[in-house]
Amino acid sequence: MLIRYITQIGRYFLMLKEIFNKQTKWSVMRNLIFKEIDDLIIDSLGIVAFISFFVGGVVAIQTALNLTNPLIPKYLIGFATRQSVVLEFAPTFISVIMAGKMGSFITSSIGTMRVTEQIDALEVMGVNSLNYLVFPKIIALLLYPFLIGIAMFLGVLGGWMAGVYGGFISSAEFINGTQMDFIPFHIVYAFIKTLIFAMLLATIPSFHGYYMKGGALEVGKASTVSFVWTSVSIILFNYILTQLLLGS
């Protein structure tokens, strides 16, 4: 079992090396990149906006309901909402959700190409299939921080609306809380995590789709396995990066 995992990890890093070899012509690659931006980034805007807004609202309400001591200032609702959304919810929680949405899409699309022998056809034509299939996804997901930026904004906005219109806090108090003790590096930290997660979201599902074997049933199994390993990798890297960047 251990040997199999080590072999898979080694194969993954060899795949990363091969992605950047023998580049596809820019005229072809440009169209592939725009297609991946549409499929992976633009198509994810709706679900990211919906989840971010309502989870921000839930964080604000839960914080307000637990501040039962009258001596605790209400502006902490805004402070807690900002910290929760910016530090963990937007970069990490959304990335785990995207491991299901983007990851399953990437694995199933590449896996279907493997099953129908389209990848073999690319190789026969002398095309570096890994560069052709995976490189556009990596470039497209360089825009992933844009998605997370929207998630941060809508999460705080959702918290503000839930707190103010739910009668838990005044607008001035909430805004004061969101501005209190703001550390700009927290935004940098969140976007550094986001870029690492984007690389994982592009490559791990691609790996499971590219190297899968079998028929249509195995495509579904590969999608499930890729979701599990992408999520595990995101959580693991989240811990490592938090320790490195925020740990004293």
pLDDT band at 191 (very low <50, low <70, confident <90, very high): very high
Average confidence (pLDDT) over 169-178: 87
pLDDT surpassing 60 at residue 36: yes
82-122 pLDDT, tens digit each: 989 998 888 999 999 999 888 888 999 988 888 888 888 88
Average confidence (pLDDT) over 7-20: 85
pLDDT surpassing 70 at residue 66: yes
DSSP labels, the chain:
-HHHHHHHHHHHHHHHHHHTSSPPPHHHHHHHHHHHIIIIIGGGHHHHHHHHHHHHHHHHHHHHHH---TTS-TTHHHHHHHHIIIIIIIIIIHHHHHHHHHHHHHHHHHHHHHHTTHHHHHHHTT--HHHHHHHHHHHHGGGHHHHHHHHHHHHHHHHHHHHHHTTSS-HHHHHHHHHTT--THHHHHHHHHHHHHHHHHHHHHHHHHHT--SSHHHHHHHHHHHHHHHHHHHHHHHHHHHHHHT--
Please, what is the average pLDDT of the chain?
Answer: 88
Domain boundaries defined on the chain: 26-243
CB 69 within 8 A of CB 171: no
pLDDT band at 248 (very low <50, low <70, confident <90, very high): low
pLDDT surpassing 80 at residue 69: no
Q: Cα–Cα distance between 192 and 188 in angstroms, integer? A: 6
The predicted pLDDT at position 239 comes to: 93
- Predicted TM-score (pTM) of the model is 0.89
The predicted pLDDT at position 237 comes to: 93
122-150 pLDDT, tens digit each: 888 888 888 888 889 999 999 999 999 99
pLDDT surpassing 90 at residue 73: no
